[in-house]
Amino acid sequence: MASPDWLTEGFETNRGRLRAVAYRMLGSLTEADDAVQEAWLRVARADASEVDNLSAWLTTIVARVCLNALRSRNARREEPLDVHVPDPVITRADEPNPEDQALLADSVGLALQVVLETLTPAERLAFVLHDTFGLPFEEIAPMVDRSPAAARQLASRARRRVRGADVHSPDRDVVRQREVVDAFFAAAHGGDFDALVAVLDPDVVSRIDAGAGALIPSGVLHGAATVARQTLAIASIAAPKHPVLVNGAAGVVITLGGQPVAVMGFTVSGGKVVEINSIVDPDRIRRLDLSVLDD
């Protein structure tokens, strides 16, 4: 059996990657941390003496834990959630720390996480492990009890869903993203409908996850005029805002009386806001890591 010290060191070296896999799979930072811990318990009991590729082996273990968690989640959920925005990764507005950078590597932002929520557990595993983390289908197939060819089909179906959802990659220049987001709020607080529409893509999507205790309802709005009207209707209560990065892209945390009440992630592509994902669910807000506001 492999040395416990060797396994412990190898696991800690790969912890950032394993947490990133779990986050892509589960869309929840808390559940991702639980999955990594469960994976470690399995690793500690396993015989790793014949493991040639430790990183791939550990990835397989955490992926199996996540697959079971997704299947259990779907079995418990009697009705699909109307609107669900996955847990955002909230970091400093200037630069993520190294741990957050590992978590966000190869991500196209919160918009992709939203689409991943619509996939079946098997599709999500095949897509995440192959398209994001480069595992071959020969290693993915046993996890979903399918042949490599069938696992390839799972990833292909997931890929079509992602393409069909028209997920935009954010503009690379975060400073420019921030300028567009600042223009959005300036227009909103100034009550300038035309200026607000001007910073929105004509097909912009605004998604609000409000849970059960928020002042505004959950919902998905489409189109610049519709999103602008809704934004102006609630702009009077949206003070003050704190610039942050949400999954590596420009975003804000909104506070009232010094308490966080909303997290908004913006996808800015082609110099326009193409998607807004907001969490205003008080219970969700309380569970998010917002320590960045203390910096």
| Phi and psi angles of residue 187, each rounded to the nearest 5 degrees, phi first | -65, -40
- In the chain, how many H helices and how many E strands? 12, 7
On the CB side of 225, CA atoms within 13 Å amount to 0
Tokens of 59: 């990835």
pLDDT, one tens digit per residue, over 118-169 is 999 999 999 999 998 999 999 999 999 999 999 999 999 999 998 888 888 8
**How far apart are the C-alpha atoms of 239 and 75, rounded to whole Å?**
40
Q: Parse the chain into domains and list their residue ranges.
A: 4-87+120-164, 174-294
Which pTM value belongs to this model?
Answer: 0.85
What is the distance between the alpha carbons of residues 287 and 267, in angstroms, rounded to a whole number? 23
Q: Which among 88, 98, 91 has a CA at the least distance from the CA of 293?
A: 91
Question: For residue 181, what pLDDT is reported?
Answer: 96
| CATH number assigned to the domain with residue range 4-87+120-164, chosen from the 4 options 1.10.3210, 1.20.140, 2.60.40, 2.40.50 | 1.20.140
Helix axes 224-234 and 174-189, enclosed angle (nearest 10): 60
What does the mean pLDDT of the chain come to?
A: 88
Residue labelled with tokens 């069938």:
150
Entry field: residues in the chain:
295
CATH of 174-294, one of 3.10.450.50, 3.30.450.20, 3.40.50.1460, 3.90.1150.10: 3.10.450.50
Question: What confidence tens digit (pLDDT) does each residue in 91-119 have?
Answer: 888 765 656 655 665 555 788 888 999 99
Distance CA 274, CA 249 (A): 13
Residue 136: what pLDDT?
94
